[in-house]
Structure 1
Amino acid sequence: MVSLGEILKHPDELYLLLKVKMAARNAEKQIPRQPHWRFCFSMLRKFSKTFAFVIEQLPTELRHAVCTLYLVLRALDTVEDDPILSTDVKVPTLKSFHRNIYDKEWHLSCGTKECKVLMDQFHHVSTAFLELGNRCQEIIEDITKRMGAGMAQFICKEVETIDDYDEYCHHVSGLIGLGLSNLFHTSGAEDLAPDSLCNSMALILQKQDIIRDYLEDINEIPKPRMFWPHQIWSKYVDKLEDFKYEENSMKAVQCLNEMVTNALTHVEDCLTYMSTLRDPAIFRFCAIIMAMGNLALCYNNIEVFRGVVKIRPGLAAKFWHYTRTMADGYGAFYDFSCMLKSKIDKNDPNTNKTLSIIEGIQKACRDSGLLNKRSEPRYRPAVVVVVLLIVLAIILSQLSGRRSSNHCEFY
């Protein structure tokens, strides 16, 4: 969803948004016509258009395996999050879920909205899973089994320490990184990466989600979901929900900055992992530039406790379009680290640690020798004219009252 104001401020991004939209439509045409695959990819888009888009750019067999892995684990997450299911139901269901994926008759009524549809019609996912190669099935089963056991463990356990935090993020996200790496290797496209690097790639994604979702999680009904570790937030307030209140704004931002700093410790591992990738489609799938961008936006930003903070769609489209090589990856990480560095408050209690990590990231980017080799946007005059005409048409449409909303949806 892109506002007219954003288009006027960044008209060059409209062209890229349209290109992404066209690429998404072309990818959609390649989805098999069988009902179970149609269901799987339509559910994928309902959960996340962005994630669906990058998955759909993968080679066919890998695309199907990654889509199935995502939906199986999304179903597992639905069981964990359901506020109605009792612990006595959740724990055994999570632990046995890896067996249910082989059963076309299995389903469980839980979740809401898209999650409920997924759980009610899980037979489509099972059918898709059973069409995958044996090795892909083994990988998905193994990751599902390990993740289910980890989730069951944290049903009855709070995230108290930073070690708990890392362990929880490993169970719910790091294992996905390991599963994806195994699927990439099984496809023959990539070497098998060390578990520690795969884990870091997934942890930074999970941690930026936990940071950005503070308000949604703390307002969860019937009770808050608390993933920020007590070891960090207890330095600043007595209760995690206290960060919602304006009188605690300074303490909230200081805690937020410590959380972002913790997430940044994974960046250098991520750069190492990304630098080993050979397949262009897999590289673009794994290029976690938006995670770094979101962390830079969140740092020192009180709006995290007031609403949603995220990269604008046009900028996301720009990074997707121009991130083709590791030189582009280093360039984007360097730019976002500079942005974050400019926001560091010398009075913040974690300033020295944050600065040290940022300088380490920047050094890694410089030492690569690739910063001056990144792709640069080049717009032909005809493209610029087309973009300006589209913007003008949107403005005229808005002024004439033919549109009832002040937003235009592209991607």
Structure 2
Amino acid sequence: MDLRRDALQILKETSRTFYIPISLLPAGLQEAVASAYLCMRAIDEIEDHPELDNLTKAKLLRTISLTLQAGGDGFTVDAFSAGFSEHENTLAEVTVGIREWSLLAPETIAPRIWDATAAMADRMAYWAERNWKIYTESDLDRYTFGVAGAVGLLLSDLWTWYDGTQTNRTQAIGFGRGLQAVNILRNHTEDLRRGVDFFPEGWSATNMQEYARRNLALAEAYTNSLPAGPALDFCQIPFTLAYGTLEALANGKEKLSRSDVFALIEQLDVNVKAS
């Protein structure tokens, strides 16, 4: 089995937004970022699963967290499958493959990815048990930090691990929060259909757009502070697409079209094939 090839294929199937910048990263860093993305996508698919009740989601997420915390020099073949035994046929492929994704990163950085994924799984379990009830902006801040701002911090650690790049960590949190706020806006109608509302009480789409713009301002400062190199090449793509999505939503569109995505990317100084 070619783990790197399989990971890139799953990436392409689950998120073109992140497949493109990850596929452009140099060897070593590519495996680390792909591992982080796929591990977190694995638990995200549990959080959003349409057929699992909230208590089952919380149990699965905490089981994954405990398994990751037990990782020393790797994981046994059945380390995760025992916890999936009753639900393996209903879980997404990316979730079932979490053991492989956790082993993809170079061993010098893999434990940091396990730690971040374990912590996020615990936070997701907390919110699942509360049916993602967001009452105040502080609740929203806690949620967006837990599932996205912390990812910004992890990315900053990956850049430092790879080539010593240092970043503003407050801006790194804003990078993750800004992207998550745009996702909340884009998926608001769909979330409401499944009984989940990430908008604080009394908030309209305009309020959430303002929240997203505040955090995207931090994301822009974060991206602009990066030196030329793989970190900048990676970050400018999801930032540009998030900002483009926010503008599209404000103008009444549901999302960016495929052609919109590639038109935005073509404005950047990256080599991307529209395949």
Q: What TM-score comes out, normalization by structure 1 length?
A: 0.58
The RMSD of aligned alpha carbons is: 2.4
2: CA distance between counterparts of 1:74 and 1:315?
A: 24
Contact 1:82 1:111 in 2 (8 A): no
1:292 aligned partner: 243
Deviation at 1:112, TM superposition (A): 8.1
2:193 aligned partner: 219
2: CA distance between counterparts of 1:116 and 1:300?
A: 33
Q: Given the superposition, is the C-alpha separation of residues 323 and 173 from structure 1 closer, same or farther in structure 2, using an over 3 Å criterion?
A: same
Deviation at 1:65, TM superposition (A): 0.6
Of 101, 104, 113, 1:140 maps to: 113
1: CA distance between counterparts of 2:95 and 2:46?
A: 9
Task: Give the 3-state SS of the residue equivalent to 1:265 in structure 2.
Answer: helix
Unaligned runs of 5+ in 1: 1-33, 233-254, 304-308, 326-409
1:316 aligned partner: 261
Q: Deviations over 1:337-382 (max 9, x none)?
A: xxxxxxxxxxxxxxxxxxxxxxxxxxxxxxxxxxxxxxxxxxxxxx
2:175 aligned partner: 201
Of 108, 119, 131, 2:95 maps to: 119
Contact 2:123 2:146 in 1 (8 A): yes
Deviation at 1:187, TM superposition (A): 0.4
Deviation at 1:218, TM superposition (A): 1.8
For 1:94-113, what aligned pairs fall within 5 Å after superposition? 94-101=61-68, 102=71, 103=75, 104-105=77-78, 106-107=80-81, 108=84, 110=87
Of 113, 121, 126, 1:153 maps to: 126
Aligned residue identity for 1:318: A
Aligned residue identity for 1:284: D
Q: Deviations over 1:214-243 (max 9, x none)?
A: 2222223xxx222122241xxxxxxxxxxx
Aligned residue identity for 1:316: V
Contact 1:173 1:202 in 2 (8 A): yes
2:222 aligned partner: 273
Contact 1:162 1:231 in 2 (8 A): no
For 1:2-401, what aligned pairs fall within 5 Å after superposition? 34-101=1-68, 102=71, 103=75, 104-105=77-78, 106-107=80-81, 108=84, 110=87, 116-129=92-105, 132-134=106-108, 136-157=109-130, 158-191=133-166, 193-220=167-194, 224-232=195-203, 255-287=204-236, 288-299=239-250, 301=252, 309-324=254-269
Aligned length: 258
1: CA distance between counterparts of 2:52 and 2:88?
A: 9
Flag the structure with larger Rg.
Answer: 1
1: CA distance between counterparts of 2:118 and 2:102?
A: 15
Name segments (4+ residues, structure 1) moved above 6 Å: none
Q: What TM-score comes out, normalization by structure 2 length?
A: 0.84
Aligned residue identity for 1:200: G
Unaligned runs of 5+ in 2: none
Deviation at 1:120, TM superposition (A): 3.2
Task: Give the 3-state SS of the residue equivalent to 1:230 in structure 2.
Answer: coil
Deviation at 1:111, TM superposition (A): 8.0
Point out the more displaced range, 313-322 or 64-73.
Answer: 313-322
Task: Give the 3-state SS of the residue equivalent to 1:93 in structure 2.
Answer: helix
